[in-house]
Amino acid sequence: MSYTPSLESPADLWFERSSLAGGFLGCMAYGIQALLFSRCAHVLLKHRARTDNHRRWLFYVVALFSISTVHIGASLKYEEIIWIDSRNFPGGPPAFMREEYSLWINTLINAAYTINSFLTDGLLIYRVIIVWNYNYYVITFPILVFIATTIFSVLACVEAALPGNSLWSKVTVGFAIPYWSLSIVLNVMVTVLIIARILMVRRGFQATGGVAQGKYSSITAMLVESAALYSITSLVFIITYARNSNVQNIVLPILSQVMCIAPLLIIIRVAYGRAYDSHLPTSLHMTDMRFAEPEEGTSTLPTGTESMAAADDGIAVRRSLVASNSRSTISGWNSGSSKQDGLL
């Protein structure tokens, strides 16, 4: 005997199944983020006394994870309201989600998502500014895209919170699609800019003997992977959202966690030395990517866990001198830089 609700259409049942599956997958993604956060926090706390920047980056990852926790907690409460407290709403859960989308708990979910989106996109901008040493010709357009992304995300959040509106209202869709599209563009563009800078650094090493080329290839792979994680997930969501497919209900809870996982992946990979090879010869102090200043009087670079002294600073693109016979070789790609610390 089948107990399938007779008053609900197959489309409504698919809507409910996709929403329930998305909620579970979102919780799984949150668990992955919690693991990465614990690793990041452990290493940052271990080295927090080295620089003030460590405390700043610790505050960043704590804020990111705390807001994600609010998001997932509010989402679970919203699921409870949908499936338990309001199960007898006329038209069932699908009608409730469409008609009562502007509930305060859902507005809290969207606000938490918007804040985390601002934090993660802001980190992208910070990375490209530091790596390109405040080169205004390079960073101006990404900053403009970041501003546009923030504006569209806030407008979409506010519009969805208005009584009678939802994420699928015509005006909300008009703000939401540009927001997610610009967010993908920003992520990919910043990653390409950073990789381009790394390749310039690697060519500089090749010009002086080919030292430490593998290190920069590893960083490039890291950036490509982190960009692909968020960009692919966002692209799948935008396509399903624009087509009003129920698959969007599965992808959106995952996307809300993936956008926080991506920056944590960068920090955690750097923390465990996967973006940094053992030693650079002390005879070559050119554009070394590292996390902390060595102690005064020390000539070798930190390795292993000690290299994490820069997870808060990220990769510092530093301008140094090499032997006098190689200065002219590197001056073209390394000129005009005085900024030192930043998270790649």
The string of pLDDT tens digits covering residues 276-308 is 333 333 333 333 334 344 444 443 334 433 433
Residues 266-282: what's their mean pLDDT? 49
Percent of the chain residues past pLDDT 70, beyond the cut? 67
Half-sphere exposure of 224 (CA within 13 A, CB side): 9
Maximum average pLDDT range among 114-118, 212-216, 293-297, 332-336: 114-118
Q: Which residues of 314-332 are buried (b: 16+ CB within 10 A; e: fewer)?
A: bbbbbbeebeeebeebbee
Hey, what are 331's tokens? Answer: 């001056």
Q: What percent of the chain is modeled with pLDDT above 90?
A: 30
Our CA angle for 243, 238, 113, nearest 5°, is 125
- Report the pLDDT value the prediction gives residue 48, as an integer from 0 to 100: 60
What's the whole-number mean pLDDT along residues 145-159? Answer: 94
pLDDT at 157 over 90: yes
| Average pLDDT of the chain to the nearest whole number | 75
Least confident window among 26-30, 77-81, 191-195? 191-195
pLDDT digits (tens, 9 = 90+) for 160-208: 998 888 888 888 889 999 999 999 999 889 888 888 887 887 777 666 6
- The two tokens of residue 219 are 């960083």
Cα distance between residue 214 and residue 217, in whole Å: 5
Q: Which of 187, 56, 198, 214 is nearest to 132 (CA)?
A: 198
Lowest model confidence (mean pLDDT) among 139-143, 243-247, 314-318? 314-318
Site of tokens 């926090």: 41
Q: How many other CB atoms are there within 10 angstroms of residue 7's CB atom?
A: 7
Position with higher pLDDT, 165 vs 315: 165
Packing angle of the helix pair 213-242, 170-207 (nearest 10 deg): 170
Domains within the chain, CATH numbers bracketed:
10-271 (1.20.1070)
DSSP 8: S
**CA distances in angstroms from 108 to 193, 196, 218, 284, 331, listed in the order given:** 34, 39, 39, 52, 51
Angle between helices 247-271 and 52-80 (to 10 degrees): 160
Lowest mean pLDDT, pick from 43-47, 95-99, 266-270: 266-270
What's the CA angle centered on 127, arms 123 and 132, to 5 degrees?
150
pLDDT for 305 equals: 38
Closest CA to 304 of 271, 263, 264: 271
- Strand segments (E) across the chain: none
For 86-142, write each residue's pLDDT tens digit: 888 887 888 888 888 888 999 999 999 999 999 999 988 988 888 888 888 899 999
